[in-house]
Structure 1
Amino acid sequence: MGMATKIRILLIERNMKIKDLAEQLGYSGNNLSNKLKNDNFSEKELLKIAEILDCDYKATFIMRDTGKEI
């Protein structure tokens, strides 16, 4: 599941519209819609979105051979 899908789910859970999130991010509605369409977010943007949607964001790499999380 891509980040765009996860963000859309969170918006539904938080009863928010894309426009509402865009305003809080300082983006136009079209800009955020394009980012969602292309699933194109920086780590910084994802952290800000998590903050706005009152969520924790965790990005990790897990080594397949050892299971070690980095």
Structure 2
Amino acid sequence: MTISEQIKVLCVRSDISVAELARRIGTTPQNFNGKMKRESFTIAELEDIAGAVNSSFERKFVLKNGEKV
């Protein structure tokens, strides 16, 4: 699942539109849709997106032995 697909699922589960999410993070729906198409989000933006729907964003690498980096 791409990050844009994950964001769409997050919106559905949070009962908000993608346009509303864009407004909550201080950008226009048009700009946000462009970022969705390009898959061009920074870690800081993903953290802002999570915060806008009262959730958290976790990033990590998981090695084959289960170790998390």
Q: TM-score, normalised to structure 2's length?
A: 0.88
Show CA shifts across 1:15-36 (max 9, x none): 1111111111111111000111
How many residue pairs were aligned?
Answer: 69
2:51 and 2:22 mapped to 1: Cα distance? 13
Identity, % of aligned positions: 23
1:68 — aligned with what? 67
- Tell me how far apart the structure 2 counterparts of residues 8 and 2 of structure 1 sit (CA, whole Å): 10
What is the TM-score normalised by the length of structure 1? 0.87
Secondary structure class of the residue paired with 2:19: helix
Q: Which runs of 5+ in 2 are unaligned?
A: none
How far apart are 1:59 and its partner, in Å?
Answer: 0.3
List, as ranges, runs of 4+ consecutive aligned residues in structure 1 with deviation greater than 4 Å.
none
What is the root-mean-square deviation of aligned Cα atoms in Å?
1.1
Deviations 1:16-63 (A, max 9, x none): 111111111111111000111111100000001011112121100122
Deviation at 1:12, TM superposition (A): 0.8
Runs of 5+ consecutive residues of structure 1 not aligned to the other structure? none
> Relative contact order: is structure 1 or structure 2 higher (C-alpha 8 Å, sep ≥ 6)?
1
> What's the secondary structure of 1:60's corresponding residue?
coil
